Amino acid sequence: MEQLSYAAGTIVTGVFGCVAWFWGSNLILDWIWPSRGAHAGTNILRANMVRPWLFIGPAILFLAVYLVYPVFDSIWRSLHDAGGRAWVGLDNYRWLAGDAKFRESILNNLLWLLVVPAAATFFGLLAAQVTDRIRWGNIAKSFIFMPMAISFVGAGVIWKFVYDYRGEGQEQIGLLNAIWTAFGHPPETWLTIPFGNNFFLMAVLIWIQTGFAMVILSAALRGIPEETIEAAILDGANPWQLFFRIKVPQIWGTIAVVWTTITITVLKIFDIVFVMTNGQWGTQVLANLMYDWMFRGAPDYGRGSAIALVIMALVTPIMVWNIRNARREMMG
Amino acid sequence: MADLSLTGISKAYGDVDILKDINLEIRAGELIVFVGPSGCGKSTLLRMIAGLERISGGDLVIDGQRVNDMPPAQRGIAMVFQSYALYPHMTVRQNMEFALKIAKKSREEIDKAVENAARILQLTPYLDRLPKVLSGGQRQRVAIGRAIVRDPKVYLFDEPLSNLDAALRVATRIEIAQLKEAMPDRTMIYVTHDQVEAMTLASRIVVLADKGIAQVGSPLELYERPENEFVAQFIGSPQMNLLAGEVVTAGPQTTVKLVDGGTAVSHVPTTAADIGLRVNIGVRPEDLVLSTGAGLFTGTVEIVEALGEVTLLYFGEEMGAPHMIAKLPGIHADLRRQRVTLTADPAKVHLFAGGRSLLYR
């Protein structure tokens, strides 16, 4: 109860604070340079120079405090020891290069990177194309999109049940083992099977991201001029050729945006691994490794920050490319 | 070389009829133009011939073979779209060779066909460019080239000039006419709402209206001997004047006493039984001349539009449309507010009863 009222209070304060800021600051601005009287013209011009800053000011401030400052702080910490006191130069990075768990994480991240965006985009494209053709396509679309509404942690918990293991002879409550044993196999502890378990984790993210890819690609497919498709039909293209040689090439830009957007999500992947295996049995990934060093046991801020910066270095170029691409798409 | 035969063709979406009982024979080598007001179904009819729309009823026969259920690509047709419909991700060459590649033609054959089409359409310098860098006219030529390389039996054009500006439209129209000239044995079907295109290109025009064919004939047939009031008013600009009246004397020449008070004489023959028949006389603005004596119409000129080569005179207005328009050669700017009498050569006066021409009964 106390927590509820606390949360409600925060929301009210936040909303009221925003309104008060935008309304109040503009009021003060208009009081300093009123749009009346002898200097109305110059006053309006002056006020209009300042006004945009009133609106984007808070955003810039919060971005600086919660994004820019942490980046510099992380750089600083990554060059210091565990407690953040003694300067150690590049020692943390040298340690990273030799660490087996870090190498495992990099390899796993690479694997995620290769599989998840490709699979999610492919299934999304497939779903978009198929659901466009059928009468109950919109219902199918809603179902495919639904996992997008589930948090990664929630999805991790749900899929942990899917992969759940009960000893032989017991009733299997895990969907996968239930099917597996129905075919006469002994039950498996899926999440501990080396290497293969990575793919069981990836399935969760693919399940979530397919809906996202489908929605965006479906809109792109509908944007293709109908005449080009009709022209291709007259040219004798079969449905397969129509899809791969006429439709897909026309939405390459959108496919690239979807692909890179999912890629960024994948590079930062943390929750699913954290909830389901916590990086054990060869499933460690960078973000979870960083969390381990940063906050678990005896925290090592130096090493944790070094890993964080590696993740940032990997994400940034893809992000830049993605934003550029998305802009180009928007301009047509 | 292909004859097309449309027998009882109809199209319906659910309970809504778009086209009903279309019967048309098209001979090989003809250039047929479908014209009609917006929504008359002319594009739908073309798309049914192409195979892009299902035929709800009737038979479509190309070269003696019923093709109702044949896939579009096997009908031996090629279509040029209003929006060009070029594949934006392919170069001009790739656009033109796509159909041949799908048909698994040999490389030499493809290159020969593409280069030939490019030469005819003067597209050779642009073969390796993408459509987006081409002008509207060039894009339309690529679209035509895409049809030519397939060497179809029947060319279908769906308002191919509508997206071009006025000057380019004339140039491309002439190019299409020359293209037809160069391929005398190919059948072409051309849809437009522009009657100038229809009059200049067509060997025969099909006027579509009210879900069916209003008249089929050569451009001058439609102009000189329209079968009904719709065709009479659709062909020609400004449109034909219609004036209500009653037949007073019949015979090889017919005299009509008009409601407005004038008297019109027509070479359309009538019989004694027609005396007293309520008719509309139709007379084109360009067939009216000023008269010093009696005439078929007397009125005050409300508006004068002097265009130099001709002058348009507008008489009396009813429901926003002028009651009568006359088109006189030369400049007559001084006629504004003047009361004038108009008459016409009896050979140029049409008679309609119940919307149908008395010539065709």
What does the pLDDT look like over B211-253, one tens digit per residue? 899 999 999 999 999 999 999 999 988 899 999 999 999 989 9
Residue A83 CB neighbour total at 10 angstroms? 12
pLDDT score, position A332? 54
pLDDT at B2 over 80: no
The answer to whether the Cβ–Cβ distance between B73 and A233 falls below 8 Å is yes
Chain B residues 69-98 with a CB less than 8 Å from chain A: 72-74, 77-79, 81-90, 98
Which H or E run contains A326?
A: helix A301-331
**CA B225, B188, B117: angle at the middle one, nearest 5?**
145
| Sequential pLDDT tens for chain A (332 residues) | 788 999 999 999 999 998 999 899 989 988 888 888 788 888 888 888 888 898 898 899 999 999 899 999 888 888 888 777 778 878 788 888 888 888 888 888 888 888 999 999 999 999 988 888 788 888 888 888 888 888 888 888 888 888 888 777 777 788 887 788 878 777 778 878 888 888 888 888 999 999 999 999 998 988 889 899 999 999 888 888 998 999 999 988 888 888 888 888 888 888 888 888 887 787 888 888 888 888 887 788 888 888 888 888 888 888 888 888 778 877 65
Residues of B in contact with A236 (CB under 8 A): 72-74, 99, 102-103
Would you state the torsion angle of the CA atoms of residues B132, B137, B141, B143, taken in this order, to the nearest 10 degrees? 50
pLDDT score, position A48? 87
φ, ψ for residue A80, nearest 5 deg: -120, 175
Q: Is the dihedral of CA B283, B285, B286, B291 positive or negative?
A: positive
* Contact status of A241 with chain B (Cβ, < 8 Å): yes
Under CATH, domain B242-357 is a member of which superfamily? Nucleic acid-binding proteins (2.40.50.140)
Tokens coding A117 = 């965006």
* More reliable by pLDDT, B211 or B321: B211
* Contact status of A244 with chain B (Cβ, < 8 Å): no
User: Which CATH number fits the domain B4-234, given the four candidates 3.40.50.300, 3.10.400.10, 3.30.565.10, 3.40.50.150?
Assistant: 3.40.50.300
Residues of A in contact with B89 (CB under 8 A): 249-250, 252
φ, ψ for residue A311, nearest 5 deg: -60, -45
Produce one character per residue of A249-277: b if its CB has 16 or more CB atoms within 10 Å, e if not: ebbeebbbbbbbbbbebbbbbbbbbbbbb
Best mutation target among A224, A230, A234, A252 (most B Cβ atoms within 10 Å) is A234
Best mutation target among B67, B70, B79, B87 (most A Cβ atoms within 10 Å) is B87
Produce one character per residue of B128-152: b if its CB has 16 or more CB atoms within 10 Å, e if not: eebbeebeebbbbbbbbbbbbbbeb
Q: Look at residue A255 and give its three-state secondary structure.
A: helix
d(CA B144, CA B182): 14
* Contact status of B61 with chain A (Cβ, < 8 Å): no
d(CA B324, CA A263): 72
What does the DSSP assignment read for B290-340? EESS--SEEEEEEEEEE-SSEEEEEEEEETTEEEEEEEEES--GGGTT-EE
Tell me, rounded to whole angstroms, the distance of Cα B239 from its chain centroid. 14
> Which among B74, B77, B87 is the nearest to A228, CB-wise?
B87
In terms of C-beta density within 10 A (0-12 exposed, 13-18 middle, 19 or more buried), how is residue A56 classed?
exposed
Closest alpha carbon to B324 in B253, B244, B230, B267: B244
pLDDT score, position B1? 56
In the chain, the amino acid numbered A213 is A
Q: Look at residue A167 and give its three-state secondary structure.
A: coil
Close Cβ partners of A331 (under 8 Å, ≥ 6 residues apart): none
Task: Give start-end residues of each CATH 3.40.50.300 domain in chain B.
Answer: 4-234
The answer to whether the Cβ–Cβ distance between A227 and B81 falls below 8 Å is yes
d(CA B351, CA B91): 56
Which H or E run contains B279?
A: strand B278-283
Question: What's the average model confidence in pLDDT over B344-359?
Answer: 91
